[in-house]
Amino acid sequence: MKGIISTVCLLFLCNTVFAEGLNLLTFKDAEKIAIKNSPQIIAQSYTADSAYQAASSQKLKRLPTLSLNAQNTLVSKIGKIEFPSLGISNTVGTHLNWSISPTLNFIVWDTGQILNRAKSLKRAADAQSNILDYDKREVLLGARTSYIGVQLAKEQVKLVKDALTLARSQYAYIHEKFKVGASDKFDLAVAHQEMSDREKDLEQALGELYVSKRALAASLGIEKDIETAENLDTEPLSVSLDLLLPRSGTPFNPETHPQVKALENQKSSYELSAKSVAAKYFPEISLTGIAGYQYPNLGQNEIIQQNSLMMGLQMPILEWGSIWKETKSQKYKARSTSEEKRQTVIDLTKDVSETRDWIDTYKRLRTTDVKVVGDALEVAKLSYDSFKAGKIIFLDVQRANVKALSAKVDAARDNASLAVQISKLLALAVDEEVKNAQEWSFKKVQGQRPEI
């Protein structure tokens, strides 16, 4: 009952459709859940949001700003003007002085300092967006690899169970023959050993299955939604292979990889930042307009409305080369990033080539595995027939059975390795699943991650 309740909770929380039973998680569902639940993707989406907000804030500095200035001063002494010849004296000002003035500030010319800085921040934000896309690929790769790990573990459990069933059947046959004296104790002991070995193999295979299920639940962010690993089931490995094999020829263009695009955007960001810093060499012209009220107006104790317009010019005369050094620093960062991009392209191209080589290798192994498994099963069958005919001892049958089981397990592992290598290729190349994930970007993330 608890397993059913927890599985229903999983359905509700993940908002996904499970097929053929409440506890079956499909390969496609695993991909979607991984993207939706990943804390890394949510965190990076916030980082990208923050970077775009910073760029927008910098760009707005080009617009006029309106502020309100107010001042209130209370003084103990005020000025006095005396005319001794006339016997007259007048006070100047009052004890209470105040002013209030809305102020308009506008940078008329700054040689592109603000604009280039805004563009630099925009490119840096684009780089964070590229990193978000890269994180999505990595999350998908982790989910696919974990899912395939469960499928392989399930396949191994099935194969070992079949081998155990066969071992029990053969042991029962030999035991009956032993009871009537038609078989010796050595054959009976070997048959019992075969059965015990398969029972041990089954326990190990089940342990690997439970561990792999836990790893899958953790990679999908649903480990808290299931009480035990038994509540999570997957499709057969053949289903994932059918989905992945058509995409094993996915083309690769290093310039479209998120890591390369992020470095290109970061390089442009440094270059624009260098231009922004270099603009400090040139004059900055600003305009300030004030329209306010003040009391008193010099010697007149009355409220007046005062307007003023000021134009200012600011330009460095002596700054000991700090601007030049800061400019060179940004340019050196751009060059460093450019070289890093070149190295990344080289590494990605190598990784893709190696992955394609492994894909081709495992495809050839699949054909070979069919022959090897068929031969091993045929030898095992003929060995058992020969044993029943009294031509060989059961130890020879045991060896043939072990080879048959080993051949089937190796074939399953080769299929799983092929699926993993295709998943790696899709993480490197342009993958349809990643395209879909990119639609869930930082610009459309509202409603899919918590709002601040």
Q: What is the pLDDT of residues 357-400, one digit of tens each?
A: 999 999 999 999 999 999 999 999 999 999 999 899 999 999 99
Is 158 exposed, middle or buried (CB count within 10 Å of its CB: 0-12, 13-18, 19+)? middle
Is 156 exposed, middle or buried (CB count within 10 Å of its CB: 0-12, 13-18, 19+)? buried
Give the Cα separation of 47 and 41 in Å (integer): 10
Amino acid at 174: I
Give the Cα separation of 422 and 434 in Å (integer): 14
pLDDT over 80 (residue 431):
no
Evaluate whether residue 103 is within a structural domain. no
Partners of 289 in beta bridges: 104, 309
- pLDDT at residue 227 in the model: 57
Q: What is the pLDDT of residues 270-280, one digit of tens each?
A: 999 999 999 99
Q: What is the pLDDT of residues 323-344, one digit of tens each?
A: 999 999 999 999 999 999 999 9
Q: Where are the alpha helices (DSSP H) in 111-184?
A: 113-179
Give the Cα separation of 184 and 178 in Å (integer): 6
Give the Cα separation of 435 and 401 in Å (integer): 47
Evaluate whether residue 338 is within a structural domain. yes
Phi-psi sector, 55: left (phi>0), alpha (psi -120 to 50), beta = alpha
- Give backbone dihedrals phi and psi of 66, rounded to 5 degrees, phi first: -115, 125
Classified as helix, coil or strand, 180 is coil
Asked if 31 and 141 touch (Cβ cutoff 8 Å), the reply is no
CB atoms within 10 A of CB 213: 25
Radius of gyration of the chain (CA): 38
**222 versus 191: which is more confidently predicted?**
191
For the chain, helix, strand, coil in percent to 5 are 65, 15, 20
Give the Cα separation of 221 and 372 in Å (integer): 39
Evaluate whether residue 298 is within a structural domain. no
Evaluate whether residue 305 is within a structural domain. no
Is 282 exposed, middle or buried (CB count within 10 Å of its CB: 0-12, 13-18, 19+)? middle
Q: How confident is the model at residue 445 (pLDDT cuts 50, 70, 90)?
A: very low
Evaluate whether residue 90 is within a structural domain. no
Give the rounded percent of residues in the chain with a pLDDT score beyond 70: 86
What's the CATH code of the domain at 430?
1.20.1600.10
Q: How confident is the model at residue 433 (pLDDT cuts 50, 70, 90)?
A: low
Tokens of 450: 């918590």
Is 186 exposed, middle or buried (CB count within 10 Å of its CB: 0-12, 13-18, 19+)? exposed
Q: How far apart are the first and last CA of the chain?
A: 38
Q: What is the DSSP letter of 26?
A: P
Q: Which of 167, 247, 246 is nearest to 201 (CA)?
A: 167
Tokens of 292: 């306010």
Per-residue pLDDT, averaged over 236-250, amounts to 92
Domain count for the chain: 1
Q: Which of 96-100, 220-224, 317-321 has the lowest mean pLDDT?
A: 220-224
Q: How confident is the model at residue 440 (pLDDT cuts 50, 70, 90)?
A: very low
Range of the domain at 38: 2-67+109-290+322-439
Kind plus residue range of the DSSP H or E element containing 71? strand 65-74
Give the Cα separation of 44 and 67 in Å (integer): 35
Evaluate whether residue 299 is within a structural domain. no
Evaluate whether residue 79 is within a structural domain. no
Q: Which of 151, 139, 148 is nearest to 431 (CA)?
A: 139
Evaluate whether residue 350 is within a structural domain. yes
Is 293 exposed, middle or buried (CB count within 10 Å of its CB: 0-12, 13-18, 19+)? middle
pLDDT over 70 (residue 452):
no
